[in-house]
Amino acid sequence: MTDREQFRPENHPNDHFLLTTVVGSYKKPKWVDRARELWEEPDSGFDDDNWQEAADDAARLITGEHERAGLDVVVDGEMRRTEMVEYFAHRIDGYEFPGRVKVWGHNTFDKPAVVDDVAYDEPWLVDEFEFTDSVAERPVKVPITGPYTIARFSFNEHYDDYEEYAYALADLVNTEIENLVDAGARYIQIDEPALAMTPDDHAVVGECLERIVDDISVGGANGGSSDASDGVSEEVRVGLHVCYGDYSRIYPEVNDYPIDEFDVELFNDDYQQIDVFADPEFEPDLALGVVDAHHAEVESVEQIKQNILEGFKVVPPEKLTISPDCGLKLLPREAAYGKMENMVRAAREIERELDAGEIDVGLAAPSAD
């Protein structure tokens, strides 16, 4: 069994299998935001147990929503998390929170400042995973913010440079992923949007990934890290998500990363960048964005099928994962649901056409299959 086949549902209708999933974040229901506000108000009487219950309800709701849309691998929509850097920094020793800063317009975040050596304190995502896994009928993916992005998106008052800082964090991410794998997680996605911002640092991200996957294996046995081309054992799938950047500045270096899958946003500019990955041969699996994460109009099944075909310019069907461009947290829920539902329908239709030998595009052409 390859690491990918373990996610094929038992009742999967087609021989071909285009794994469908999401990047991770999802619009929070209004009552979740309200519950968090109450929990953060000292005099509200809304205690930790109340918040826990609200967060559990939300995670159950969104996990179920992903399953109803038909996704093969689901996420809880990151209902317990605040912001992608802040959430982790609160759980790592070495940070202070000097105050809010602007991201755009009147949107701010509580940007952490590292003031001491970072150290692993408490698990970051193990509880989140265990709960989601317990309520989900489908396999669960765990998105985790990568060390380079945490380093780049926080203030650095302590380390000599970003490289040293990112490597220190990478060792902590390694510990967290070990804990997640021990808890049963088999699909991890490292989010590194900061790489799109400073693509010249692709080697730093590469070294972070080597540290992250070091000795990660199921049951702690036969760690795959001895094989530099694939640091993780077969049972654990590690993806990397990078969005909104110039991919030509990090490819083909990505081929050397110890990852199973590279997740990209390409629909946003209508696949103008797809050719970047065509030469030299793309080595990891490709997780292809096929719906827009920042436009509320739901793409038709037909349109999404056309988008999926773009992926075959780069990888054959057995290496193609289908996903939105980015997290869906900024879309209205109905739009996000509609996009996921159409995405799954489109993937199943393409699979049927592949089974029937009707698709003659790039690496999906029957002769190449």
Positions touching another protein (CB under 8 A) are 98-108, 111, 113, 152-153, 155-157, 194, 197-198, 200, 244, 294
**C-beta of 23 vs 286, nearer to another protein:** 23
d(CA 332, CA 329): 8
Judge contact between 124 and 146, C-beta under 8 A: no
The dihedral over CA atoms of 330, 336, 342, 346, expressed in degrees to the nearest 10, equals: 40
Shortest CB 139 distance to another protein, Å: 32
**C-beta of 194 vs 359, nearer to another protein:** 194
Judge contact between 185 and 140, C-beta under 8 A: yes
**C-beta of 12 vs 102, nearer to another protein:** 102
**C-beta of 329 vs 345, nearer to another protein:** 329
**C-beta of 107 vs 272, nearer to another protein:** 107
Shortest CB 84 distance to another protein, Å: 11
Tokens of 31: 């009552």
Shortest CB 332 distance to another protein, Å: 12
Shortest CB 137 distance to another protein, Å: 35
Shortest CB 272 distance to another protein, Å: 16
d(CA 222, CA 349): 39
**C-beta of 80 vs 152, nearer to another protein:** 152
- 53: enclosing H helix or E strand: helix 48-68
Judge contact between 263 and 241, C-beta under 8 A: yes
Judge contact between 214 and 174, C-beta under 8 A: yes
**C-beta of 12 vs 100, nearer to another protein:** 100
Three-state secondary structure call for residue 171: helix
Shortest CB 156 distance to another protein, Å: 6
d(CA 25, CA 62): 10
CA dist 188 → 17, 73, 140, 277 (Å): 19, 11, 9, 23
Shortest CB 108 distance to another protein, Å: 6
**C-beta of 87 vs 244, nearer to another protein:** 244
Tokens of 361: 């595009």
Shortest CB 124 distance to another protein, Å: 21
d(CA 4, CA 27): 28
Judge contact between 124 and 172, C-beta under 8 A: no
